[in-house]
Amino acid sequence: MLLDNINTPINTPIFKSSVECPVKILYVKGTPPLSSSLAYHSEMEIQYIKRGQGAYFIHNNNYPFQKNSLLVIKPNYIHRIDNELSLYVEKYSFCFDINFLKERNHLADLPEDFPCLLELTEQEATVMEVIIRNIIKEKESGQPYWVEVICSELIRFILLIRRAALRYEPQKQTSPLINEIIRYIEINFRQELTLGQIAERFAVSSSHLSRQFKRCSGLNFKQYLTERRIAEAKRLLQDEPKRKVSAIAQDVGQPDFALFNRSFKIVTGLTPSEYRKLSYRQIK
């Protein structure tokens, strides 16, 4: 089902992942929500921006996007939309397990300096959209070898992304300091961390660090740390359905269970238990 002509805001999955075809596509049209939280997952994610403009935080940088942009989010890269900079957006967002490509999965193993943002020519954008539409139509038709055709289309998509990336110089980080700090948080977010501790470790003032961190990530330090912990908690709630929520709270660095529950609901709109039930229903 292609949804381009619908005039009302949309945020809906139009292609759900399955065991035989671990690919999912989400169609989004409208103004981004007032709040969004950090996310990460083991799948590759690619967002094709058909219309609109805004910014996306990926891994350790903010990337301003516009019409005919591609956002490339490698597996386990932290990411979120920057709500303060994002206006109307129409996009296709799809995730896939790179192992679905089988003997060609090395094509999706992108180098460290691969651009997270690509600006496409009109011709490239048209080809990318045709590929997305072909994938959706193949799933809907269910014709013989539809899974193999989707795999082939996905390989073509990756090759075209790699070709477009050849125009770009290796990415330079906007702030080497914040890049290092985010890497440090990624390793240590389960431990007790404060802005003061981080500032002392990296030999900068707390006020300077606070300003730079907000500018580069779109979140203040405390928000980022909380959302990073919640992102890990969401993964554990899905992957370990029998594990106690209190144990997960401890594991992600929030031993105060009441505070963890409160933070989780502020970030996601659901309690941890509600989120786990919702995730379980979606998997079924």
Helices (H), the chain: 122-141, 146-165, 176-188, 195-201, 206-217, 221-239, 245-251, 257-268, 272-283
Both structure tokens of 169: 């110089």
Cα 157 versus chain centre, distance: 18
The per-residue b/e assignment along 135-155, b for 16 or more CB within 10 angstroms, e otherwise, is: bbebbeeeeeebbebbbbbbb
CATH of the domain at 203: 1.10.10.60
On average, the pLDDT of the chain sits at 86
- pLDDT tens for 111-153 read 988 999 999 988 898 888 889 889 989 988 899 999 999 999 9
**Is the pTM of the predicted complex or chain greater than 0.85?**
no
Does a structural domain hold residue 102?
yes
Q: Could you give the 3-state DSSP secondary structure of residue 106?
A: helix
Which of the four pLDDT bands, split at 50, 70 and 90, describes residue 11?
low
**Cβ(142)–Cβ(97) under 8 Å?**
no
Q: Which of 141, 165, 189 is the last residue of a domain?
A: 165
Q: How many domains does the chain have?
A: 2
Q: What gap in Å lies between CA 37 and CA 35, rounded to an integer?
A: 7
Q: Which of 111, 136, 165 is the last residue of a domain?
A: 165
